[in-house]
């Protein structure tokens, strides 16, 4: 039986919410961005005027935006507002189906296969667009398809405030001519690999030899081949399944590019400290540690490894991240930003087998120490207890655990 999947994507989400709060900015270019003075100055979101008239793109550095558009209004993000709108939207989606899967704050899949009482999938999509425009004051684009990948692709094809249908009969005409980089989970690194194989469009990928692609790129390559051919059968999660935390992480952009390993190690320890504190706060430990690295040209990649036991210890997380960095970064360019993410989470109350060498006992003592440090910081402030090494470079390690943390509640595939 063919499924009916919607993908709802808020248009210019952060900027739209900010403009709703500031109606006087309705006819001027608006950008939501980070702190320029701390080099967090990149575009997080932009309104339609900034996008259409000035070509401003997400991820651009703000000083370049100012050069091209001197009259741009740059606003700081207010995550609590965006979270409120996201929760309101999920409540609205729940009126149509119990299968609602978030993909970040501003996107969600809905499986409306059994929702014929509300009309055709196209009718439901149009009704959602109309209700969100009237009830929330901002707009969404909706993709309608027979699988999640093409539904998301549809929501990206026409913006703002539009519905795009990709069916089992028309997807070759509508999808295969698009650049392969527009397919879900095709990042910059994978796109470069595809280019070396002569794969420029989604159609090129769909027609490529599947076995050869698997040999060259492994499971990720064959998965993307299946997506290009419309073979995505992944279900839309039930709404009450979305609350499970999948990963906890933190990242930071440095005040200046890093050019030596000593500085990178300090920053990784500071990030690991914040990630570990948040894991403990939520009673979690994780087995997979990932490090993300962005160079001065804004190229980002991620590497990860599996630990032999779940951890919430800052030292363990930092050393694994540091090892991943040293193994994978060749210093062709300076480092602009770093991040650490811990996944494969379990509750920290899980039992652990004692060993004859006393390693588990030592880790338990370290855990007790870090919980004590958490208590002191909660009562007297974060700076009351710091690693001595981090005090040697406060300009690099002075960011706070409460700022920039993220918790993923849906699986994310990276490359």
Residues with active-site annotation: 107
For residues 156 and 153, give the distance between their C-alpha atoms in angstroms, rounded to a whole number: 5
What is the DSSP code (8-state) at residue 168? Answer: T
Torsion sign, CA atoms 392, 342, 182, 83: negative
> Residue 250 in 3-state DSSP?
strand
HSE of 170, CA atoms in CB hemisphere, 13 A: 8
3-state SS record for 348-372: CCCCCCCCCCCHHHHHHHHHHHHHH
Closest CA to 159 of 13, 33, 29: 13
Name the packing angle between helices 13-21 and 79-93 (round to 10°). Answer: 110
How many Cβ atoms are within 10 Å of 88's Cβ, its own excluded?
13
Any residues with CB less than 8 A from the CB of 33 and at least 6 apart, and which? Answer: 40, 41, 42, 43, 44, 62, 65, 74, 75, 76, 77
> Residue 122 in 3-state DSSP?
helix
Burial of 127 (0-12, 13-18, 19+ CB in 10 A): middle
HSE of 14, CA atoms in CB hemisphere, 13 A: 19
């Amino acid at each position: 039986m063919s499924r009916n999947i919607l993908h709802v994507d808020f248009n210019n989400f952060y900027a739209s919410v900010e403009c709703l709060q500031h109606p006087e900015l309705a006819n001027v270019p608006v950008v939501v961005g980070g702190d320029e003075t701390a080099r967090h100055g990149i575009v997080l979101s932009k309104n339609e005027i900034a996008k259409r008239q000035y070509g401003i793109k997400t991820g651009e550095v703000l000083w370049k935006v100012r050069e091209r558009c001197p009259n741009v209004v740059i606003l700081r993000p207010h995550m609590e507002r965006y979270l409120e709108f996201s929760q309101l939207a999920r409540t609205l989606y729940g009126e149509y189906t119990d299968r609602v899967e978030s993909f970040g704050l501003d996107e969600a899949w809905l499986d409306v296969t059994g929702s014929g009482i509300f009309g055709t999938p196209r009718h439901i999509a149009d009704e959602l667009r109309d209700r969100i425009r009237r009830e929330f004051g901002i707009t969404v684009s909706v993709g309608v398809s027979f699988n999640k990948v093409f539904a998301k692709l549809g929501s990206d094809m026409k913006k703002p405030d539009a519905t795009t249908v990709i069916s089992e009969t028309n997807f070759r005409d509508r999808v295969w001519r698009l650049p392969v980089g527009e397919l879900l989970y095709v990042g910059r690194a994978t796109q470069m690999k595809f280019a070396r194989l002569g794969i420029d469009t989604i159609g090129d990928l769909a027609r490529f030899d599947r076995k050869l692609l698997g040999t060259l790129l492994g499971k990720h390559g064959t998965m993307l081949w299946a997506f290009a051919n419309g073979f995505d059968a992944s279900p839309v999660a039930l709404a009450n399944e979305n609350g499970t935390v999948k990963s906890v992480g933190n990242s930071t952009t440095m005040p200046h590019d890093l050019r030596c390993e000593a500085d990178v190690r300090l920053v990784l320890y500071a990030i690991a400290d914040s990630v570990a504190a948040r894991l403990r706060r939520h009673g979690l430990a994780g087995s997979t540690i990932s490090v993300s690295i962005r160079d001065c040209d804004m190229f980002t990649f991620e590497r990860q490894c599996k630990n032999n036991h779940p951890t919430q210890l800052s030292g363990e997380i930092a050393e694994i991240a540091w090892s991943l960095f040293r193994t994978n970064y060749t210093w062709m360019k300076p480092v602009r930003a770093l991040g650490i993410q811990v996944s494969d989470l379990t509750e920290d109350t899980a039992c652990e087998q004692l060993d004859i060498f006393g390693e588990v006992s030592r880790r338990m003592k370290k855990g007790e120490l870090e919980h004590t440090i958490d208590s002191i910081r909660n009562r007297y402030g974060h700076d009351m207890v710091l690693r001595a090494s981090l005090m040697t470079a406060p300009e690099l390690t002075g960011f706070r655990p409460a700022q920039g943390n993220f918790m993923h509640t849906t699986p994310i595939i990276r490359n």
